[in-house]
Amino acid sequence: MPLIVNRINAALSQPHESIVQKAVRSLRISTDLVQTAQIHKISLDARRQDNIHYVCSVFVRLSDAQLEKKLCEKNKNITYAAPARFEPVISGEKADGRVIVTGFGPAGMFCALALAEQGYKPIVLERGEQVEKRTQTVHSFWKGGALNENSNVQFGEGGAGTFSDGKLTTRINDPLCSYVLERFVQFGAPGEICTKAKPHIGTDNLRSIVKAIRERIISLGGEVRFDTRLDGLEIKDAAVKSVHTNRGEEKAAALVLALGHSARDTFEMLAQSGVFMQPKAFSVGARIEHLQSDVEKSLYGKHAGNPALPKGEYNLSFRENGRGVYTFCMCPGGTVVPAASEQGGTVTNGMSEFSRDGKNANAALVVGVTPEDFGSSVFAGVDFARRIEQNAYHLTGSFKAAGTTVRGFLNGKPDLDTSLVPTYSLGLVPCDFTNIFPRKVTDMMCKGLADFSRKMACFGDENALLTAPETRTSSPVRITRTENMTAVGISNLYPCGEGAGYAGGIMSAAVDGLKTALQIMSVIAP
């Protein structure tokens, strides 16, 4: 098993070969014992602007397993590499019907891919369009065309992540994360995502990758049915017997619910069918937009503009009296995009291409809310978010977003008097955010801005732009599941991914989809 040599410092322009050699020398062994050595991860340490450098870890495989063990025992900077293994245990128990996966975002996609590669020939139901058509539909909406409530930024092939920065960072520590990265590369992602500490694919690359995964599933006998919405379940003897869609009925051996966080109508149908779910915490707020150059000056100081440095990105947070405000889904060189999925409600999101070469940077500036804020009924959080979206739509009279400079937000006199050019394509209308959000949210946003301005100079710029609302940070409900990953009281119903409340982002959703596939394989034969 290869070792990982950690904490290897490197200059900004230091070649990879030199970094690997430095790691090998740190082992203080004969180079003849080294079979292979290569970069594992690279992260930037910019905590001190007078000493910005990279911190790297390096894979090293030795010819002597006992020596590997000895080195791990005596040096805390050396660890064993967790293998990126996906090892199904296949059941011999046959079941009537097909395995059906509802939703073709990261969770549904990786679940269906894993099942297809083990001979299950799953059926995927996706209410939105395939990515080629979906991209056209979304771009039409961004130019002022009609909203398609079934195919938009939230719904369609690839899920909400298709129109994002394509971040592959996650807080979970699971060996399957490495497996997911490797699979993304196999389907066309840049190889660097396997070594960067903060990998991203970009919305432009994601579109071709999800198409390639779809084609792989179909080539193995699976089906991906677009424009197909889950409308009902037949549940008998504590199991799903069949599913009803807008296109007909299908017998189900198992049903995976990889719905995404915005499938509000589907959540309601499931509750009416007796599926147990609970309200959960999520976050609401706005997008904040700065010049990318100002972000990098704040992070890198005199080193800003150095081509050896990555595009500047940040992750800030502040807590007071149990409530948090934080930045989320930061998009360097990106755009703020219209992300509505319902008529009469405005939603914003952020997106970047792989190059991240846009003039502006944006991030969600959001405040955590809980059932204590919006109520304990199952759909209280859904109603809370929807009211915010409708408030914004009412103020602007259209899918234009509510906007203001930070100055206008702080003094209660909204304005758009700034040289910063907003990227939200449908336009902004100056609005008082206290007419959109509860005071507890806007007050906490003010406190967050004050705290963040002490950490990054660009947050002290009152000419920065706020675009609202951002309400789709995560699912407002959790479809509660048991330790074997099935819904409470329904033996073959598998809630997974972000919409079910068990993931947050592309990576964790993909891993949850894989784990769901493994569980299905352990109880149902292909």
**The pLDDT of residue 172:** 86
DSSP string across 31-96: GGGEEEEEEEEEEEE-SSTTS-EEEEEEEEEES-HHHHHHHHHH-TTEEEPPP------------S
| 184 pLDDT more than 80 | yes
| 1 pLDDT more than 80 | no
Alpha-carbon distances of 300 from 2, 50, 170, 291, rounded to whole Å = 35, 9, 24, 14
Helix residue ranges, H only, 143-202 = 176-186
Across 157-164, average pLDDT: 94
Across 44-54, average pLDDT: 93
Using the 8-state DSSP alphabet, how is residue 435 labeled?
G
Across 140-145, average pLDDT: 98
**The pLDDT of residue 344:** 98
**The pLDDT of residue 82:** 79
Q: Which of 263, 228, 195, 232 is nearest to 128 (CA)?
A: 228
| 52 pLDDT more than 80 | yes
Residues whose CB is less than 8 angstroms from the CB of residue 318 and which lie 6 or more positions away in sequence, other chains included: 324, 325, 326, 447, 448, 451, 452
Q: Give the residue range(s) of CATH 3.30.70.2700 domains in the chain.
A: 3-80
Q: How many Å apart are CA 154 and CA 261, to the nearest integer?
A: 8
CB of 44 closer than 8 Å to CB of 116: no
| 83 pLDDT more than 80 | no
Tens digit of pLDDT for each residue in 471-491? 999 999 999 999 999 999 999
**The pLDDT of residue 204:** 93
- Beta strands per DSSP E along 383-526: 401-405, 428-430, 465-470, 477-478, 493-495
Residues composing the chain: 526
Across 139-154, average pLDDT: 98
CA geometry: angle 373, 377, 380, nearest 5 deg: 55
Using the 8-state DSSP alphabet, how is residue 220 labeled?
T
Q: Give the residue range(s) of CATH 3.50.50.60 domains in the chain.
A: 98-277+479-523
Across 250-266, average pLDDT: 97
What CATH number has the domain spanning 98-277+479-523?
Answer: 3.50.50.60
Average pLDDT across the chain, whole number: 96
3-state percent breakdown (helix, strand, coil) of the chain, nearest 5: 35, 25, 40
| 76 pLDDT more than 80 | yes
Q: Decide: residue 141, CB within 10 A, 0-12 exposed, 13-18 middle, 19+ buried.
A: buried
Q: Predicted confidence band at 223 (pLDDT cuts at 50, 70, 90)?
A: very high
Its pTM stands at 0.94
Residues whose CB is less than 8 angstroms from the CB of residue 75 and which lie 6 or more positions away in sequence, other chains included: none
Tens digit of pLDDT for each residue in 402-451? 999 999 999 999 999 999 999 999 999 999 999 999 999 999 999 999 99
What's the CATH class of domain 3-80?
alpha beta
In the chain, the N- to C-terminal Cα span, in Å, equals 32
Q: Predicted confidence band at 81 (pLDDT cuts at 50, 70, 90)?
A: confident
